[in-house]
Amino acid sequence: MTIPKKLDLKSMNITEDQLKKLKQVLPEVFTEGLKVDFDRLRQTLGDAVDTDSERFGMQWPGKSECFKIIQQPSIGTLKPCEKESVNWDNTENLFIEGDNLEVLKLLHKSYYGQVKMIYIDPPYNTGKEFIYPDKYSETLQTYLAYTGQVNEEGIKFSTNTESEGRFHSKWMNMMYPRLFIARNFLRDDGLIFLSIDDCEVTNARKLMDDIFGEENFIDTMIWKKRYGGGAKEKYLVSLHEYILVYAKDETTLEELFVPLTEESVKRYYTQKDLNFHTRGPYRTHPLEATKSMGERPNLVFPIRGPDGTEILPKRQWLWSKDRVKDAIRDGNLEFVRGKDGEWTVHTKQYLKDENGHIRQGKAFSLIDDIYTQHGTNEIIDIFGNAQIFPFPKPSELIKRLIEITSKDKNELILDFFSGSCATANAVIDLNKEDGGNRKFIMVQLPEPCEESSEAFKAGYKTIADIGKERIRRVIKRNKEGQKEKGEDLFDGGKSKQDLGFKVFKLDSSNFKIWDGEIKDDAKLQKQIELAIDHVDPDSKPEDILHEILLKAGFVLTTKIAKLELAGKTVYSVEDNALLICLDGELNKGVITAMAKLSPARVVCLDQGFKNNDQLKTNAVQIMKSHGVEDFRTV
């Protein structure tokens, strides 16, 4: 009897994915299935395999456990919260409330290789604000217990203090799996920016080298975060933090340019010539090469000056004779006579290129014009109280990083330690400034605000609540600002900008998933009973729909159309790329109607067949007769 396959309700198998990548490169080292023959691997790679027990590398207590955590799939889900969202039907922005390790695992299949930029501001491990699960093997249960959704004795989050021992190790054990999984989200030309201070900067750099590779290190940016200090510092006045910058693959990364600031344009582009109307003002650079350039005899030749004098370089020119000839013809060289009467030759660099596009510059690794106080002022401006979220990163700082990364202004930005959501703030404001269409994914643990805090008194029970409200207020401010300016905010009833976001919350699966590790007879009996009717009776159709969407590998903002086929509700995902029917009483009519739409995939609830094996078998044949090979039940 042929029956539909089951939809895998677990998150993407990272180990299997890594093995598939290896098999593409070294198929000869695999035996049957996805098993690696290490003897063949050694033969294939020869001396490149390091078998020495003493080798250069980074080790710490718990590192091996990190890989077990990475390999363990999540069986949770992300439940939609439309009431807490803005512009649910049209937005492609996301805010996800939950433990970021579980959330990253759940998003892994859907967002694999789609993110252009990751910015994270993780806990700096100062000994008070960093929380971690006591039982890393039970992260979902830990989270559910932490948020009061289940009562599981002994499973909790704890703070990491220096007195506990293994202070740095616990921080690294928390960070390693998250960074490892996050790397897979990046596009090949993607970048990750990690904010950190002196407490963990050396360990963070080593972690990033281990996961991303030293060859993909781009730079360590220095952020001067405040104007100055006072006498309360014990030794030196610390003014800066760090931002580690790594590429997914440095070989595919294009050169990084940023728009010139108005100040730099006024300061440097001060001269005008006959090309001013088409190419704007210009600045000059000496054509004479410096000593750092290797000797090239072909770059030593005379250039005729304005008075006919032949000008020779002291060492050599930067440009070839042909290029100089073209530059003279086009008026792109400038001759300057010094006080000694000698001519020097300079190249002209116009503000605009030949196509009229304004020139861009290189970003500096030092940021010294944005301060922590700017972030505090933003909180005051948005919430009216600086203590709602103390010491947030300024959105202008993150905006600067996005400008370095963003080329086509349509990229996806991820922040999985989103805090007060300064990154979302930056994306929305930058889109408004330059007409971009960037999207964001924010992930934040609903860490409780202390009852004595100003945030709690203002009605914000968790950090996640603060982040969501900040995004709402920034969206509202932008809408009101455009209306005041008389700008056409809406085009055919739809906002020109994506001024919205969808809220999802981490939760246990809507389905009772079989646990093959159960050894207790009573628990085993309960599991068998649950398997008979494995759909959570408290689950809403939209909860089930989005879990199927996620587990099938579709992004959470995928457009879904509601169809009526043979009297049943069917959801069409991306114009019939996937059809989902959640009806509890399926029949041949709806099966045939779905098959006739020639979808790529079909998913139905298993309980919809009501133990009717004949209908289930017929359904498979009907689907195949219409060319539908991927038919699954859940």
Give me the domain span that covers residue 126. Answer: 71-257+363-506
Judgement on whether residues 248 and 282 belong to the same structural domain of the protein: no
DSSP 261: P
Are 285 and 268 in contact by the 8 Å Cβ rule? The answer is no
Locate tokens 């003014």: which residue?
239
Position 138 in a domain:
yes
List 119's β-bridge partners, or say none: 193
Give the per-residue pLDDT at 5.
83
| 3-class DSSP assignment, residue 544 | helix
Q: φ and ψ at 128, to 5 degrees?
A: -145, -35
Does 21 or 411 have the greater pLDDT score? 411
Position 27 in a domain:
no
Residue 211 to residue 323: CA distance in whole angstroms: 44
In tens, the pLDDT along 510-547 reads 998 665 555 555 555 555 555 556 788 889 999 999 99
Give the per-residue pLDDT at 183.
97
Residue 484 to residue 478: CA distance in whole angstroms: 10
Residue 119, both tokens: 């910015």
Give the per-residue pLDDT at 533.
66
How much is the average pLDDT of 29-43?
80
DSSP 229: -
Position 26 in a domain:
no
In tens, the pLDDT along 286-338 reads 999 988 788 899 999 999 999 999 999 999 999 999 999 999 998 999 999 98
Q: Which of 441, 471, 506 is the last residue of a domain?
A: 506
Residue 232 to residue 236: CA distance in whole angstroms: 10
Residue 67, both tokens: 């890989």
Judgement on whether residues 191 and 151 belong to the same structural domain of the protein: yes
What's the whole-number average pLDDT of the chain?
A: 88
Instruction: With CA atoms as reference, report the closest residue to 347 among 382, 400, 403, 303.
Output: 303
Are 119 and 415 in contact by the 8 Å Cβ rule? The answer is yes
Give the per-residue pLDDT at 499.
95
Residue 189 has pLDDT above 70, yes or no: yes
Residue 552 has pLDDT above 70, yes or no: yes
Residue 392 has pLDDT above 90, yes or no: yes
Q: CB neighbours of 405 closer than 8 A, spacing ≥ 6?
A: 116, 117, 191, 256, 411
Instruction: With CA atoms as reference, report the closest residue to 110 among 488, 620, 504, 528.
Output: 504
How much is the average pLDDT of 353-381?
92
Judgement on whether residues 231 and 309 belong to the same structural domain of the protein: no
Position 56 in a domain:
no
Give the per-residue pLDDT at 155.
57
Judgement on whether residues 105 and 197 belong to the same structural domain of the protein: yes
Q: Which of 506, 535, 565 is the last residue of a domain?
A: 506
Q: φ and ψ at 345, to 5 degrees?
A: -110, 135
308: left (phi over 0), alpha (psi -120 to 50) or beta: left
Residue 630 has pLDDT above 90, yes or no: yes
DSSP 148: T
Judgement on whether residues 161 and 296 belong to the same structural domain of the protein: no
Judgement on whether residues 433 and 556 belong to the same structural domain of the protein: no
Judgement on whether residues 149 and 290 belong to the same structural domain of the protein: no
Give the per-residue pLDDT at 294.
82
Question: Within a 13 Å sphere around the CA of 154, how many CA atoms are in the beta-carbon half?
Answer: 3
In tens, the pLDDT along 414-438 reads 999 999 999 999 999 999 998 999 9
Q: Which of 331, 361, 391 is the last residue of a domain?
A: 361
103: left (phi over 0), alpha (psi -120 to 50) or beta: alpha
In tens, the pLDDT along 338-364 reads 888 899 999 999 999 888 889 888 889
Judgement on whether residues 355 and 367 belong to the same structural domain of the protein: no
DSSP 478-503: HHHHHHHTT---EETTEESS---BEE
- Percent above pLDDT 70 for the chain: 87
- Place 260 in a pLDDT band, splitting at 50, 70 and 90: confident
The b-or-e profile of 170-182 (16+ CB within 10 A means b, else e) is: bbbbbbbbbbbbb
Position 565 in a domain:
yes
Question: Within a 13 Å sphere around the CA of 250, how many CA atoms are in the beta-carbon half?
Answer: 11
Judgement on whether residues 537 and 464 belong to the same structural domain of the protein: no
Position 117 in a domain:
yes
Give the per-residue pLDDT at 625.
94
Locate tokens 């979220």: which residue?
389
For residue 300, the Cα-to-chain-centroid distance in whole angstroms is 50
Give the per-residue pLDDT at 412.
98
Residue 579 to residue 632: CA distance in whole angstroms: 10
Residue 106 to residue 386: CA distance in whole angstroms: 34
In tens, the pLDDT along 221-242 reads 999 998 876 667 778 888 999 9
Judgement on whether residues 335 and 467 belong to the same structural domain of the protein: no
DSSP 321-340: HHHHHHHHHHT-EEEEE-TT
In tens, the pLDDT along 135-163 reads 656 678 778 877 777 665 555 566 655 55
For residue 173, what is the domain's CATH number?
A: 3.40.50.150
How much is the average pLDDT of 7-22?
84
Residue 240 to residue 230: CA distance in whole angstroms: 15
Query: 5-6 and 630-633 as β-strands: parallel, antiparallel, unpaired?
Result: parallel
Position 339 in a domain:
yes
Give the per-residue pLDDT at 160.
59
CA 147 to each of CA 421, 504, 538: distance values in angstroms, whole numbers, following the listed order: 20, 15, 18
Residue 446 to residue 148: CA distance in whole angstroms: 11
Instruction: With CA atoms as reference, report the closest residue to 80 among 556, 532, 509, 504.
Output: 504
How much is the average pLDDT of 596-606?
95
Q: Is 257 exposed, middle or buried (0-12, 13-18, 19+ CB in 10 A)?
A: middle
Q: φ and ψ at 476, to 5 degrees?
A: -60, -45
How much is the average pLDDT of 395-421?
95
Task: Give the total number of structural domains in the chain.
Answer: 3
How much is the average pLDDT of 90-95?
97
- Place 494 in a pLDDT band, splitting at 50, 70 and 90: very low
Residue 375, both tokens: 């972030």
Judgement on whether residues 347 and 391 belong to the same structural domain of the protein: no
Judgement on whether residues 237 and 283 belong to the same structural domain of the protein: no
Position 28 in a domain:
no
Give the per-residue pLDDT at 377.
96
In tens, the pLDDT along 579-591 reads 999 999 999 999 9
Locate tokens 């703070």: which residue?
159
